[in-house]
């Protein structure tokens, strides 16, 4: 039994998914974060379901890549049930999608989520009347508090058991428009019925909307004879409503939605909304930037203070452990090398990575879920225009500070291919949490937080210039920002905890084993003295950058995971007292190189998937050149500023 | 005829036309904004930054380039 969770961005799909499937899908208070389809097998009320969390979509048209995918996926797989999740506080805006889904001929129920938000806004919904009008069960929920979710799935079970009987009937448009749709539907049925898998009414509407994807399917089937008919009917529609053909039906659905809305909603008294007032400051054209900078600075300092405190304590502890180890094992035996490198790997994870990663991820989760990022997009729109993009592109970029992989995927929210390419390249150059660990653990810890901050700023300057150059090479007018600004929501501690844990688990389960394994490989290379070979091979590079030859191997391993470079640095140098073997200038040069050079393998993979292989290779080349250039620059001029 | 850019803050206007590419028109339509919609301007700072408009209780940021293509009339 397959169930699809579908709804507009930010309606709480992932929250409902996670409530029943365990935390697997990243939730956040901004559009476009679920870009992959999360599927999970769940056992509920004695039945087993395959639950799929879809990316949020405003409609089933092919306006951008993410939305086009939803329609295709939904229709190509056989779903037994659609759970349409609606943000109750945005009912009017959400119903058009519901009306589209109804035409797919799949059993459906509605989850009316965010009931708490709705009542805060003074919106009262007559649930039974809504259910009656839509011909399907409607269940109210507050997913973030896990209310109503159980009942939702009890309902789901009933509906699935009823099977075909529970397919909701289409809701007709106004008579004049309905006649046009029926005429085209009839035409499709007559000529294409056996060949198209799509429900004919749905297809008729999409053709009338000029939807490229559905047009292309039919033209494969020799549908040219249809296109004349479509054109004639479109002209009729335009005459009837006086709106351009590409949006007339979309707006018609909105009118129908508002009609339903009017019938089931009573607006009472909204509770005083401090959030409106908050936006007056947060999005103010002067104060807004002040707040943005304050938030970023305090974010930065809290992570640093917290992380450095722990790193200091933990490193001394592990240093002692390393020393006592040499008392137990013979320093030249392979066992010593093996045990020692395992200890390096483990201690690196605990002492260097986690102290920064945990507060970093908690902070990022709060920023994401509170709904601050779309405000950042608003504030940064003018700046982004200067580098040839628009405000929306800042969202993937900011997500990049967590991890480049979801950041590159989030570029799907951009409708233009060119914007997507530039944003993806930029996002892969943002210092992700792994690179931040290197910046914090090395530069901030040994050189002071000011220098770490300077690296972030320098990175932003470089990224802006890269964006500028790319948009100069691809001159095309960016369509401009159209972005919904969601209300602020204070994320519940449960959500913060689970989301942070989800991301830390990723580090513990995936990255840490790689770190330990990497340490062991390095230990063995050292034992068999193979590291000398690699270091020798890389000596032109290390010599150019003025770094000791032993760091050569760490640069290679850094491509796997950026944290690896830091942990292996201590291992290769044989001490955690970095400053006894490296000068401050060398620390800076090393970090600059690690921050800029080649994105990690996971990012390379997602770049070739989202853009293509040539772009991926280009990014690798560009970043490598930039890294060498900048670190050489710092080597030569670093002493002037340090 | 005037565009959304010419409307001052806190005023509500009716959209009478959206010129330019169909991408923007469609993205707006999905948010329920199209010919005939009544929107309220929540923020319109001259020279700087996007506009913030309200439509059926949700806030939408609209870049100045897009706003220039949205033709409106007073109500
Ligand atoms: N107040 C409130 N917030 C909710 C509710 N359900 C989800 N949220 C929050 O709304 C935001 C968006 O949820 P998410 O599941 O990521 O939405 P998606 O984009 O549809 O997957 C998150 O910050 C959730 O914590 C609810 O019923 N009430
Ligand atoms: Mg989601």
Give the other-Cβ count within 10 Å of B14's Cβ.
Answer: 14
Question: What is the token pair recorded at A28?
Answer: 């956040």
Tell me what pLDDT residue A434 has. 86
Tell me what pLDDT residue A354 has. 87
Q: How far apart are CA A342 and CA A334, in angstroms?
A: 12
Across the A:B interface, residue pairs with CB atoms under 8 Å apart total 128
- Expressed as residue numbers, the domain containing A131 is 2-166
What integer is the mean pLDDT of A297-317? Answer: 86
State which of A7, A13, A15, A56 you would mutate to test the pocket of ligand 1, scoring each by most atoms of that ligand within 8 A of its C-beta.
A15
Is B61 within 8 Å of A416 when comparing Cβ atoms?
no
* A181 and A128 belong to one structural domain: no
Tens digits of per-residue pLDDT, A328-356?
A: 777 788 888 888 888 888 888 888 788 88
Would the CB of A143 count as within 6 Å of ligand 1? yes
* A136 and A82 belong to one structural domain: yes
Would the CB of A495 count as within 6 Å of ligand 1? yes
| Beta bridge partner(s), residue A39 | A52
Average pLDDT, chain A: 86
Q: Provide the percentage of residues in chain A whose pLDDT is more than 90.
A: 28
In angstroms, what is the span from residue A562 Cα to ligand 1's centroid?
32
Do A627 and A597 touch, CB atoms closer than 8 A? yes
CATH number at residue A198: 1.10.287
Tens digits of per-residue pLDDT, B31-73?
A: 888 888 899 999 887 666 899 999 887 889 999 889 999 999 9
Chain A contact for B29 (CB, 8 A cutoff): yes
Structural domain count of chain A: 3
What integer is the mean pLDDT of A475-483? Answer: 81
Is B60 within 8 Å of A379 when comparing Cβ atoms?
no
Tell me what pLDDT residue A28 has. 61
Would the CB of A34 count as within 6 Å of ligand 1? yes
| Model confidence at B12: pLDDT above 90 | yes
The three-state secondary structure class of A199 is: coil
Bridging pattern class, strands A38-44 and A47-53: antiparallel
In angstroms, what is the span from residue A346 Cα to ligand 2's centroid?
33
* A11 and A153 belong to one structural domain: yes
> Does the predicted TM-score (pTM) go above 0.95?
no
Do A425 and A600 touch, CB atoms closer than 8 A? no
Nearest residue on chain B to A381, judged by CA atoms?
B49
The three-state secondary structure class of A344 is: helix
* A333 and A240 belong to one structural domain: no
Extended strands (E) in chain B: 2-3, 12-18, 38-43, 51-55, 58-62, 70-74
* A351 and A308 belong to one structural domain: yes
Chain A contact for B6 (CB, 8 A cutoff): no
Q: How far apart are CA A89 and CA A336, in angstroms?
A: 63
* A216 and A97 belong to one structural domain: no
**pLDDT confidence tier of residue A272, bands split at 50, 70 and 90:** low
Tell me what pLDDT residue A168 has. 86
* A547 and A593 belong to one structural domain: yes
Does B51 or A277 have the greater pLDDT score?
B51
Q: How far apart are CA A362 and CA A94, in angstroms?
A: 31
Tens digits of per-residue pLDDT, A157-178?
A: 999 988 888 888 888 888 888 9
In angstroms, what is the span from residue A112 Cα to ligand 1's centroid?
12
| Domain contains A298 | yes
* A160 and A195 belong to one structural domain: no
Question: What is the token pair recorded at A420?
Answer: 């997507």
| Model confidence at A414: pLDDT above 90 | no
Tell me what pLDDT residue A165 has. 80
| Model confidence at A274: pLDDT above 90 | no
User: DSSP letters along A85-132, please?
Assistant: EEEGGGHHHHHHHHHHHHTT---EEEEEE-HHHHHHTTEEE-HHHHHH
Tell me what pLDDT residue B27 has. 81
Is B26 within 8 Å of A285 when comparing Cβ atoms?
no
**pLDDT confidence tier of residue A617, bands split at 50, 70 and 90:** very high
Tens digits of per-residue pLDDT, A105-162?
A: 899 999 999 999 898 888 999 999 999 999 999 999 999 888 999 999 999 999 998 8
* A291 and A418 belong to one structural domain: yes
Tens digits of per-residue pLDDT, A201-245?
A: 998 898 898 888 888 777 666 656 677 888 889 899 888 888 887
> For residue A15, with 0-12 CB atoms within 10 Å meaning exposed, 13-18 middle and 19 or more buried, which class applies?
buried
Length of chain B counted residue by residue? 75
| Domains in chain B: ranges and CATH | 2-74 (2.30.30.90)
């Amino acid at each position: 039994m397959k169930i699809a969770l579908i709804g507009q961005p930010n309606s709480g799909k992932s929250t409902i998914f996670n409530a029943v499937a365990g935390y697997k899908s990243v939730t956040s208070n901004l559009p476009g974060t679920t870009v992959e389809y999360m599927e999970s097998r769940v056992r509920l009320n004695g039945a087993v379901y395959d639950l799929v969390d879809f990316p949020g979509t405003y409609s089933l048209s092919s306006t951008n890549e993410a939305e086009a995918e939803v329609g295709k996926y939904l229709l190509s797989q056989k779903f037994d049930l659609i759970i349409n999740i609606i943000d109750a506080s945005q009912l009017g805006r959400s119903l058009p999608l519901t009306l589209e889904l109804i035409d797919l001929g799949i059993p459906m129920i509605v989850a009316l989520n965010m009931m708490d938000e709705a009542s805060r806004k003074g919106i009262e919904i007559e649930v039974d009347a809504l259910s009656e009008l839509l011909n399907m069960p409607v269940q109210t929920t507050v997913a973030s508090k896990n209310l109503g979710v159980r009942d939702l799935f009890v309902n789901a079970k009933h509906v699935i058991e009823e099977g075909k009987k529970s397919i909701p009937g289409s809701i007709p448009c106004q008579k004049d428009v309905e006649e046009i749709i029926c005429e085209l539907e009839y035409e499709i049925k007559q000529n294409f019925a056996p060949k198209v898998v799509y429900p004919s009414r749905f297809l008729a509407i999409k053709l009338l909307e000029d939807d490229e994807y559905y047009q292309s399917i039919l033209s494969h089937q020799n549908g040219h004879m249809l296109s004349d008919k479509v054109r004639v009917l479109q002209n009729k529609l335009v005459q009837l409503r006086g709106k351009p053909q590409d949006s007339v039906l979309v707006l018609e659905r909105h009118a129908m939605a508002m009609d339903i809305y009017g019938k089931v909603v009573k607006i009472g008294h909204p509770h005083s909304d401090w959030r409106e007032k908050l936006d007056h400051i947060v999005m103010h054209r002067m104060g807004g930037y002040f707040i943005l900078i304050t938030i970023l600075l305090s974010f930065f300092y809290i992570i640093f203070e917290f992380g450095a405190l722990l790193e200091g304590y933990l490193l001394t502890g592990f240093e002692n452990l390393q020393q006592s180890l040499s008392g137990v094992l013979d320093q030249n035996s392979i066992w010593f090398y093996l045990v020692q490198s395992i200890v390096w790997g483990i201690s690196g994870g605990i002492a260097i990575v986690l102290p920064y990663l945990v507060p970093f991820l908690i902070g990022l989760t709060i920023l994401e879920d509170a709904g601050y990022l779309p405000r950042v997009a608003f504030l940064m729109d003018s700046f982004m225009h200067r580098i040839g993009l628009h405000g929306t592109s800042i969202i993937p970029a900011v997500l990049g500070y967590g991890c480049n992989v979801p950041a590159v995927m989030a570029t799907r929210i951009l409708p233009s291919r060119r914007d997507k390419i530039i944003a993806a390249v930029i996002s892969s150059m943002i210092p992700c949490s792994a690179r931040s660990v290197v910046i914090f653990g090395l530069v901030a810890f040994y050189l002071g937080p000011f220098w770490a901050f300077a690296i972030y700023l320098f990175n932003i300057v470089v990224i802006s210039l890269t964006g500028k150059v790319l948009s100069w090479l691809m001159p095309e007018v960016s369509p401009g920002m159209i972005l919904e600004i969601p209300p602020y929501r204070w994320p519940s501690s449960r959500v913060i905890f689970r989301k942070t844990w989800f991301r830390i688990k990723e580090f513990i389960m995936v990255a840490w084993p790689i770190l330990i394994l990497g340490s062991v490989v390095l230990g063995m290379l050292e034992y068999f003295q193979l590291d000398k070979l690699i270091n020798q091979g890389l000596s032109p590079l290390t010599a150019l950058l003025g770094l000791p030859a032993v760091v050569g191997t760490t640069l290679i391993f850094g491509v796997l995971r950026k944290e690896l470079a830091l942990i292996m640095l201590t291992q290769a140098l044989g001490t955690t007292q970095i400053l006894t073997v490296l000068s401050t200038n060398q620390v800076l040069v090393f970090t600059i190189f690690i921050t800029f050079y080649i994105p990690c393998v996971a990012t390379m993979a997602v770049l070739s998937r989202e853009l293509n292989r040539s772009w991926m290779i280009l990014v690798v080349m560009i970043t490598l050149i930039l890294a060498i250039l900048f670190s050489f620059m710092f080597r030569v001029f670093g002493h002037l500023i340090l | 005829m005037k565009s959304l850019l010419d409307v001052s803050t806190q005023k509500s206007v009716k959209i009478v036309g959206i010129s330019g590419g169909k991408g923007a028109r469609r993205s707006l339509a999905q948010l329920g904004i199209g010919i005939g919609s009544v929107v309220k301007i929540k923020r319109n700072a001259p020279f700087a930054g996007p506009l913030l408009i309200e439509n059926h209780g949700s806030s939408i940021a609209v870049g100045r380039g897009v706003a220039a293509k949205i033709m409106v009339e007073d109500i």
